[in-house]
């Protein structure tokens, strides 16, 4: 396994290096760096959206959640895909038509407020830094389980390699690398299923064992109420997730964006089913692991044949790298484009902004390592927390803001701040006292955000018609 | 249910498990010796039930077996400690019938990541089997004796098929190689087409 894994890793990183260098020669302006010159087509775009969506949270966290809790966790995918569909019909076409570079660009233009832009950029940096913690923690888990490597070393290697290709080629290199990563993830995960099934003695034998081990594994480990709450947090956050939305800007047209979302859902369906099967079959083969997050790496290293195991390890690595890369691109752009470029050096040259973006990426990549080493929770729990925050402060100003003309800057600021604080307070204080009512923090956050948006907008001055024209005017043919 | 409650919390940790499978006799005999880092009062083990297979504990060799539940997919074996300082448990049983997969007794208290060590030794293996196709992956020590070193106790040992027999593992590896070859070929053909388009564009 060791030699096979080494060869597969060398080939993988060699290809990434090649794509990065090629992209660096094609990246000259900020539009090239943040939006790949708006040249991405539906297949690569769909794979990119899938790669961004499929993270450590999926290949380590979701797989581990299926290992522990069984089939019922799969229903959260319905929430995820509802979010994508909402994005495809209510968000993506308008955002792509607007053609900006970042989500705070949209916030500033739609509500005519630079304060709203600054707040959006700040919240993006905070919430996505939490997301990076989960990705880094997963990389540490995998490296420790497979190679016995110290988590800190694994995290440093991950940051250096991902930051390298992100810094070099921006979204262009990221897009082609993520296309490759999605193909690796699909292949590695799908091929693993029949092997595990053959070891486990077939479908009937596996189901019978799981049923006896814990009947909830094949039934309802989570109740519908919990699944709805998880589904809402994933769905609402995806409909308004800046690291996904930013990728729309790199695609050729509004039509390309819709096609890419359909392609992405197809990839996610295959990956989701494979992850469910692998989680359950790993439970059959190893019923008592100390940590569910180890399920994927143990299965790759101890169960699968060397080449398939190596491919799966690269798939896990790809999932983490692609998400880290997308998060770094969106947080780096928030610092360089939305804060530095707008408030500190408005007259900075394109080249200067690209340099600041690269430095920001490097700094933002290093900070979450400290928190990842503290291990605040399992990977999936950290991902769920982060999605709750994103949904609470971004869903209303983005999805409702794009479809309700009366929303104002003050309303958007109140919605973002109020939603964020309501989610934070409920999650860390109130929820314990009110858990019996089954009200989740994301629901409190989104409802607070919506109420504030409507009420504050109603009592404040409407946004000028000229600002709204691009979002609500007739489509140019 | 709060998400954090899903973490498996266990103060007691399995430190070693030495499992020996003897294939030489008329029946397959398994002897498993487990050691924990602290004394235990009682322990539960799960043994997967396989079709066309019988599982029987060998009396006397097992530390205080008190109960076996026979469920649809598994046997549940409960042991109590012999003394208040007991940190080890031994389970010995025989398996008859279809022994392509040999079930192991999996303790509900797991190994500590990076610390626990599970050793499985199989005696009486045919010298004509492809060890890499079994589960877990075995290493041959002598002609009829192979071992596997793991971090966790698996549900069963799946004996490897004979060399040359059809194997899902081999098929999967061939599929991966074929996919990589096809993808490379597609990329080369596409690249050639792009280059020829450029050349014809320049010549016009």
Chain A within 8 Å of B182 (Cβ-Cβ)?
no
pLDDT digits (tens, 9 = 90+) for B103-138: 999 998 888 766 768 999 999 888 788 777 788 888
Q: What is the mean pLDDT of residues A332-338?
A: 89
CB contacts of B113 in chain A (<8 Å) are 144-145, 290-291, 294
B residues 142..171 contacting A (CB < 8 A): 150-155, 158, 168-170
- Say which of A69, A192, A212 has its CB closest to residue B71: A212
pLDDT tops 60 at residue A436:
no
Over residues B92-106, the pLDDT tens digits come to 889 998 888 899 999
Whether B9 has its CB under 8 Å from any CB of chain A: the answer is no
> What's the pLDDT tens digit per position in A172-192?
778 888 888 888 889 889 999
| Mean pLDDT within A404-425 | 94
Closest CA to B96 of B55, B132, B134, B131: B55
ipTM over 0.90: no
CA nearest neighbour of B130 among A195, A299, A305, A190: A305
CA A458 from chain center: how many Å?
33
User: Can you tell me the mean pLDDT for A265-293?
Assistant: 92
Which of B71, B108, B172 lies closest to A194 in CB terms? B172
Long-range pairs for A296-299: beta carbons < 8 A, 24 or more residues apart: A296/A59, A296/A60, A296/A63, A296/A64, A296/A142, A297/A60, A297/A141, A297/A142, A297/A145, A297/A146, A298/A145, A298/B151, A298/B152, A299/A192, A299/A196
Q: What integer is the mean pLDDT of A311-331?
A: 83
Give the pLDDT confidence of A193-206 residue by residue, as tens digits: 999 998 888 999 89
Between the alpha carbon of residue B63 and those of residues B46, B60, B75, the distances in Å are 16, 8, 17
| pLDDT (0 to 100) of residue B118 | 93
pLDDT over threshold 80, residue A453: yes
Residue B2 pLDDT level (bands cut at 50, 70, 90): very low
Residues of A151-171 as b/e, b for ≥16 C-beta within 10 angstroms? beebbeebbebbbebbbbbbb
Read off the pLDDT of each residue in A78-95 and give the average, rounded to a whole number.
Answer: 87
Tokens of B49: 């039930």
CB contacts < 8 A (A, B): 129
Instruction: Closest CB to B154: pick one of A212, A285, A304.
Output: A285
Mean pLDDT of A97-124: 89
Q: Under 8 Å CB-to-CB from B165, ≥6 apart: which residues?
A: B130
Distance CA B166, CA B178 (A): 18
Band (A26; pLDDT cuts 50, 70, 90): confident
**Contact A311/A324 with Cβ under 8 angstroms?**
no
Task: Give the distance from residue B180's alpha carbon to the nearest chain A alpha carbon, in angstroms.
Answer: 10
Q: What's the pLDDT score for residue A176?
A: 83
Q: Does B46 touch chain A (CB under 8 A)?
A: yes
pLDDT digits (tens, 9 = 90+) for A202-223: 999 899 989 988 999 998 888 8
What is the C-alpha to C-alpha distance for residues B17 and B112, in angstroms, rounded to an integer? 12
**Angle, vertex CA A296, rays to CA B129 and CA A73, nearest 5:** 125
Q: Is the pLDDT of residue B141 over 90?
A: no
Question: Would an 8 Å CB–CB cutoff place B131 in contact with chain A?
Answer: no
Q: Residue A288 and residue B110: Cβ atoms within 8 Å? A: yes
CB spacing of B173 vs A305 below 8 angstroms: yes
What is this structure's pTM?
0.83
How sure is the predictor about A66, in pLDDT bands with cuts at 50, 70 and 90? Answer: very high
Structure tokens at A363: 């700094």
Q: In the predicted model, what is the mean pLDDT of residues A111-118?
A: 92
**What's the pLDDT tens digit per position in B8-54?**
444 678 889 999 999 988 889 999 999 988 887 788 888 888 888 88
What pLDDT, on a 0 to 100 scale, did the predictor assign at position A475?
52
Res B5 pLDDT > 50? no
With cut-offs at 50, 70 and 90, classify the pLDDT of residue A459.
Answer: very high
Mean pLDDT, rounded, of chain A: 85
Instruction: For residue A463, give the H/E element and its range.
Output: none
Q: What is the per-residue pLDDT for A262?
A: 93
Q: Which two tokens stand for residue A119?
A: 């707040």
Residues B169 and B161: their CA atoms lie apart, in Å, by: 11
What are the pLDDT digits (tens) for B46-86? Answer: 888 888 888 888 876 555 666 777 777 778 887 766 666 67
User: Could you give the CA distance from residue B61 to residue B90 in angstroms, rounded to a whole number?
Assistant: 7
Which of B4, B101, B113 shows the shortest C-beta gap to A294?
Answer: B113
Q: Is residue A259 within 8 Å of A44, Cβ to Cβ?
A: no
**pLDDT value of residue A406:** 93
- pLDDT digits over A132-181, tens only? 888 888 888 777 777 777 888 888 888 888 877 777 777 777 888 888 88
- 8 A C-beta contact, residue A376 and residue A86: no
User: Cis omega (within 30 of 0) on the bond before B136?
Assistant: yes
- The tens digit of pLDDT for each residue in A94-104 reads 888 887 778 89
- In the prediction, which pLDDT does B198 show? 61
Query: Per the CB < 8 Å rule, is A144 touching B152?
Result: no
Q: Token pair of A75, please? A: 């229903």
pLDDT above 90 for A33: no
Do residue B113 and residue A68 have CB atoms under 8 angstroms apart? no
Per-residue burial over A22-46, b if 16 or more Cβ lie within 10 Å, else e, is: ebbeebeebbbbbbbbbebebebbb
């Amino acid at each position: 396994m060791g030699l096979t894994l080494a060869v597969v890793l060398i080939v993988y990183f060699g290809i990434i290096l090649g794509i990065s260098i090629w992209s660096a020669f094609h990246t000259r302006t900020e539009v090239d760096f943040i939006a790949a010159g708006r040249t991405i087509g539906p297949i690569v775009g769909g794979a990119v959206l899938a790669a961004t969506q499929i993270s450590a949270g999926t290949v380590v966290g979701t797989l581990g959640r299926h290992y522990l809790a069984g089939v019922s966790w799969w229903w959260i995918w319905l929430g995820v895909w509802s979010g994508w569909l909402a994005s495809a019909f209510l968000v993506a076409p308008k955002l792509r038509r607007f053609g900006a570079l970042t989500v705070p660009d949209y916030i500033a233009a739609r509500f005519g407020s630079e304060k709203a832009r600054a707040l959006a950029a700040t919240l993006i940096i905070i919430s996505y830094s939490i997301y990076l913690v989960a990705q880094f923690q997963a990389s540490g888990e995998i490296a420790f389980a497979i190679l016995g490597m110290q988590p800190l070393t694994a995290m440093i290697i991950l940051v250096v390699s991902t930051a390298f290709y992100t810094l070099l080629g921006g979204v262009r290199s990221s897009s082609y690398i993520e296309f490759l990563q999605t193909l690796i993830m699909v292949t590695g995960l799908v091929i693993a299923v029949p092997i595990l099934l053959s070891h486990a003695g077939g479908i009937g034998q596996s189901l019978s064992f799981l049923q006896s081990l814990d009947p909830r594994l094949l039934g309802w480990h989570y109740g519908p109420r919990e699944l709805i709450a998880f589904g809402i947090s994933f769905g609402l956050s995806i409909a308004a997730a800046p690291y996904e939305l930013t990728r729309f800007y790199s695609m050729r047209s509004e039509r390309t964006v819709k096609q890419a979302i359909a392609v992405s859902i197809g990839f996610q369906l295959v990956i989701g089913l494979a992850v469910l099967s692998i989680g359950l079959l790993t439970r059959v083969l190893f019923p008592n692991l100390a940590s569910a997050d180890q399920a994927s790496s143990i299965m790759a290293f101890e169960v699968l044949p060397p080449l398939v195991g190596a491919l799966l390890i690269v798939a896990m690595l790809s999932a983490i790298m692609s998400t880290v890369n997308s998060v770094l691109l969106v947080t780096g752009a928030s610092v360089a484009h939305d804060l530095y470029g707008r408030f500190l050096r408005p007259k900075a040259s394109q080249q200067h902004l690209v340099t600041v973006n690269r430095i920001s990426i490097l700094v933002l990549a290093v900070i979450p390592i400290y928190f990842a080493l503290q291990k605040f929770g399992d990977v999936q729990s950290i991902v769920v927390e982060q999605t709750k925050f994103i949904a609470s402060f971004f869903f209303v100003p983005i999805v409702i803001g794009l479809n309700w003309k009366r929303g104002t800057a003050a309303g958007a600021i109140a919605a973002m701040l109020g939603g964020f604080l309501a989610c934070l307070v409920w999650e860390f204080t109130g929820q314990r006292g009110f858990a019996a009512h089954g009200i989740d923090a994301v629901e409190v956050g989104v409802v607070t955000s919506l109420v504030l948006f409507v009420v504050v907008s109603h009592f404040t001055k409407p946004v000028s018609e000229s600002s709204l024209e691009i979002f609500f005017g007739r489509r140019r043919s | 249910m709060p998400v954090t409650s899903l973490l498996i919390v266990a103060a007691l940790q399995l430190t070693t498990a030495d499992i020996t499978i003897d294939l030489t006799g008329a029946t397959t005999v398994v002897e498993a010796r487990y050691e924990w880092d602290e004394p235990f009062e009682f322990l539960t083990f799960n043994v997967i039930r396989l079709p066309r297979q019988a599982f029987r504990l060998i009396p006397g060799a097992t530390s205080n077996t008190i109960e076996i539940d026979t469920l649809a997919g598994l046997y549940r074996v409960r042991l109590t400690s012999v003394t208040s300082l007991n940190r080890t448990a031994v389970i010995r049983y025989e398996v008859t019938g279809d022994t392509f997969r040999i079930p192991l007794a999996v303790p509900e208290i797991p190994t500590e990541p990076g610390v626990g060590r599970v050793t499985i030794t199989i005696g009486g293996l045919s010298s004509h089997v492809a060890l890499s196709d079994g589960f877990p992956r075995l290493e041959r020590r002598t002609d009829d004796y192979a071992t596997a070193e793991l971090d966790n106790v698996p549900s069963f040992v799946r004996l490897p098929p004979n060399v040359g027999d059809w194997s899902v593992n081999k098929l999967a590896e061939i599929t991966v190689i074929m996919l990589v070859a096809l993808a490379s070929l597609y990329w080369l053909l596409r690249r050639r087409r792009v280059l020829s388009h450029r050349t014809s564009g320049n010549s016009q």
